[in-house]
Amino acid sequence: MTKETWIYICGIYSFGFAVFHVFFWKLFRWKEDLQKLSRPNRGIMQILNLRIIYYFVFVSVICFAFPQELGETGLGRSFLAGNALFWTGRTVEQFIFLRINHRMVHILTLLFISGIFLFAIPAFGE
């Protein structure tokens, strides 16, 4: 596969996580569950989720708009490597903060590991 194809896949992957985060309010019953938190913590949780949605959409747009630049320039490869590092950190954090033996947690962990490789391949590949 070409670098550009890998980068398009990274764009689809990132957009998928943006959509997933849009549904957090419903999936995790935030209307009820966040009421248990203090007002500042409730607000912070929702703000962080909105910012991560923005970030994933941003990464997706960059991947679709500039695949050649991402694969061929130092700045582009740094952007891709930074995203691989993001997914590396997210995978590690999964084991620190979400130590739950549940099938969905294991599936998400595999998806996060996939993100490491999806972004690393065009960042470091020839």
pLDDT 10s digits, 64-121: 999 999 999 999 999 999 999 999 999 999 999 998 899 999 999 999 999 999 999 9
Residue 32: which domain range? 3-120
In a domain, 125, yes or no: no
Average pLDDT over every residue of 52-65: 98
In a domain, 14, yes or no: yes
Query: With contact defined as beta carbons under 8 Å apart, do 67 and 8 qualify?
Result: yes
Those residues whose C-beta lies under 8 Å from the C-beta of residue 31, and which sit 6 or more positions away, are 25
In a domain, 35, yes or no: yes
What's the mean pLDDT when you consider all of the chain?
97
pTM for this model (two decimals): 0.94
Domains contained in the chain, number: 1
Q: What is the pLDDT of residue 99?
A: 87
In a domain, 90, yes or no: yes
